[in-house]
Amino acid sequence: MAGVSSFRSTLSRAALGALAGLLAAFTALAVAELVAGLLRPSAGPVTVVGGAAIDRTPAAVKDFAIRTFGENDKTVLQLGILAVLALIAMGLGMLSLRHRRAGSAGALLFGIVGAGAALSRPDSTGVGDALPSIAGAVAGALTLHLLASKAAPESSGTGAGGAGWSRRGFLTAAVATAGAATTAGALGRFFASRQGQGATASRNSLVLPKPASPAPPMPSGVQLKVPGISPFTTPNQDFYRVDTALVVPRVDAGTWRLRIHGKGVARPRTYTLDQLLARPLIERDITLTCVSNEVGGPYIGNARWLGVPLAGLLEEAGVRPPSRGGRADQLVARSVDGMTLGSPVEDVMDGRDAVLAVGMNGEPLPFDHGYPVRMLVPGLYGYVSACKWITDIELTTFDAYDPYWVKRKWARKAPIKTQARIDTPKPFARPAAGPSTVAGVAWAQHRGITRVEVRIDDGPWQDADLAVQDTVDTWRQWSYPWQATPGGHTITVRATDGTGQVQTEERTRTIPDGASGRHSVFVTVP
């Protein structure tokens, strides 16, 4: 009996320790968020540790995460960080009942990790960024010390029964801690949201100028009337989002600047948003695609963008493309959160509509998509062209500098590969026998789509009907009337681009320069 009761008391002591550890970690995070909310929300410990983790994740794992969790990948990462933290905190809590100092030392160690992560972020604004983690760690260590002393007062000696501890004393301290931490966390959130208010106000008051060069009227035949096909223009709220930002940058357009400088820039310049908006703007339909898009995948969207032609700005700055004797062959765009993306200067200046976009489908860029200004270069995957929250353009060479993704083994240059996707029927659908419609989208930005063919099982390739082409920079819809016969069928599609090149059958992974291969779906006709 004595054995059982001492086992029970060991167990309940362990539970107390774990609870103390959890509360201490919660307090640490809440205090850190409060300090971050006052200073800089994106310097919060979960954000900086998450950011550091993202930057160090091997490309294959990142690709897996995007594939598996889609746009929830960052939520999953943050929950993972919190889960690991909770486990370690419970361990430290138990340890602190016996070795009070060890528990607190562990808490402080976490503060150092968080502070280190904060200072290593590319958007770190200085040593102040270490403060949230340090303050949180100190609060966590003190909390752990307090709760541990309530749970196992040192004066009580080492008796297994823990005679001296007061259940009420511990519970009171625990409840008070939880209450104080919750308040601190809520205040932190409040201050953080206030920091974004200048940005929100600047976006709400932004009136987009009329384009000097409007997009040509969209031909009515670009949109097929087939249920289940992707809309030709992707609504902003449905537009895919891919970036490394755990906290979406909220930039106040009033203080925002764009600097253009570097090799061969005879007249470096810094622009305000108003200066950019005062220039003649163009409006263009451009389909954007992510290099991480699997064959048949969702990371593609088409929008009507409004913005400043980039080539003109570069010419004013004295930049010449390599084919006209320019010394810089790479344009590196840098965002407010420190992301870097590199595009060939030649492509940006070859006459295509490379643009610094301020508008997306008739409204200012959403924060998620780069407010106030982002770059787009038709024909290039997003990671080598589409810098969101852009603030700096540096002319350099491919030899001299590798931007973010290139350092992580992705290709230096990455034109978008010709692809076609079957939107309907869906994989494993059960369409009725008889007349049926296979339909979807095909894209080969800046080359255009001239032909789409469909094959049922091992049958011959048959021409699909093409919707009207908007421009060579947009995707193109297609449909194929199919007489569905009972049984299982594999439907495959392939596209031909404006250069006459037929989409390759060869399957490649997304890394290093985009997936190739043909999309197919398997359906069963009952």
Ligand X SMILES: Nc1nc2c(c(=O)[nH]1)N[C@H]1C(S)=C(S)[C@@H](COP(=O)(O)O)O[C@H]1N2
Q: Which of 13, 150, 284, 388 binds ligand X (CB under 6 A)?
A: 388
Please say which residue, 387 or 521, places its beta carbon nearer to ligand X.
387
Least Cβ distance, residue 76 to Mo ion (angstroms):
18
290 binds ligand X (CB under 6 A): yes
Look at residue 389 and give the partner it binds from Mo ion, ligand X, none, a contact being a CB closer than 5 to 8 Å depending on partner kind: ligand X
Backbone angles phi, psi at 209, to 5 degrees: -70, 160
Q: Report which DSSP code applies to 280.
A: P
Please say which residue, 21 or 403, places its beta carbon nearer to ligand X.
403
387 binds ligand X (CB under 6 A): yes
Look at residue 243 and give the partner it binds from Mo ion, ligand X, none, a contact being a CB closer than 5 to 8 Å depending on partner kind: ligand X
244 binds ligand X (CB under 6 A): yes
Q: Which of 44, 321, 382, 415 binds ligand X (CB under 6 A)?
A: 382
Residue 358: which residues within 8 A CB-CB, separation 6 or more?
Answer: 206, 208, 273, 276, 277, 281, 306, 307, 308, 364, 365, 372, 373
Q: Which of 129, 243, 353, 392 binds ligand X (CB under 6 A)?
A: 243
- Let me know: does 183 contact 33? Beta carbons within 8 Å: no
Q: How many residues does the chain have?
A: 526
307 binds ligand X (CB under 6 A): no
- Selected range binding Mo ion among 87-95, 236-244, 429-437, 464-472, rule: CB under 5 A: 236-244
Question: Angle at the Cα of 51 (from 49 to 53), degrees rounded to 5?
Answer: 70
240 binds ligand X (CB under 6 A): yes
- Let me know: does 441 contact 474? Beta carbons within 8 Å: no
- Selected range binding Mo ion among 290-298, 301-309, 367-375, 410-418, rule: CB under 5 A: 290-298
As to burial, measured by CB atoms within 10 angstroms (0-12 exposed, 13-18 middle, 19+ buried), residue 374 is buried
Please say which residue, 256 or 389, places its beta carbon nearer to ligand X.
389
Structure tokens belonging to residue 483: 């007489």
- Selected range binding Mo ion among 163-171, 214-222, 238-246, 330-338, rule: CB under 5 A: 238-246
Q: Within 14-33, which residues bind ligand X (CB under 6 A)? A: none
- How much of the chain is helix, strand and coil, in % rounded to 5? 40, 20, 40
Structure tokens belonging to residue 225: 């009337």
C-beta neighbour count of 11 within 10 angstroms: 10
- Let me know: does 5 contact 157? Beta carbons within 8 Å: no
The residue at minimum Cβ distance from ligand X is 382
Structure tokens belonging to residue 54: 């993202």
389 binds ligand X (CB under 6 A): yes
482 binds ligand X (CB under 6 A): no
437 binds ligand X (CB under 6 A): no
242 binds ligand X (CB under 6 A): yes
Q: Within 178-207, which residues bind ligand X (CB under 6 A)? A: none
Residue 250: which residues within 8 A CB-CB, separation 6 or more?
Answer: 195, 196, 199, 200, 367, 371
Least Cβ distance, residue 352 to ligand X (angstroms):
18
String of contacts with ligand X for each residue 161-180, x by CB under 6 A = --------------------
Least Cβ distance, residue 48 to Mo ion (angstroms):
23
Of 337, 334, 380, 328, which Cα lies nearest the Cα of 245? 337
Q: Letter for the amino acid at 85?
A: L
Distance separating alpha carbons of residues 250 and 368, to the nearest angstrom? 9
Q: Within 242-261, which residues bind Mo ion (CB under 5 A)? A: 242
382 binds Mo ion (CB under 5 A): yes
Helix (H, G, I), strand (E, B) or coil at 255: coil
290 binds Mo ion (CB under 5 A): yes
Q: Within 341-370, which residues bind ligand X (CB under 6 A)? A: 369
Please say which residue, 383 or 478, places its beta carbon nearer to Mo ion.
383
β partners of residue 269: 260
Backbone angles phi, psi at 479, to 5 degrees: -145, 155
Q: Within 132-161, which residues bind Mo ion (CB under 5 A)? A: none
C-beta neighbour count of 320 within 10 angstroms: 16
Size of the site for Mo ion (CB under 5 A): 5
The residue at minimum Cβ distance from Mo ion is 290
Distance separating alpha carbons of residues 516 and 385, to the nearest angstrom? 20
Where do contacts with Mo ion occur on this chain (CB under 5 A)? 242, 290-291, 382-383
Which residues of this chain interact with ligand X, rule CB under 6 A?
239-244, 288, 290, 335, 337, 339, 369, 382-383, 386-389
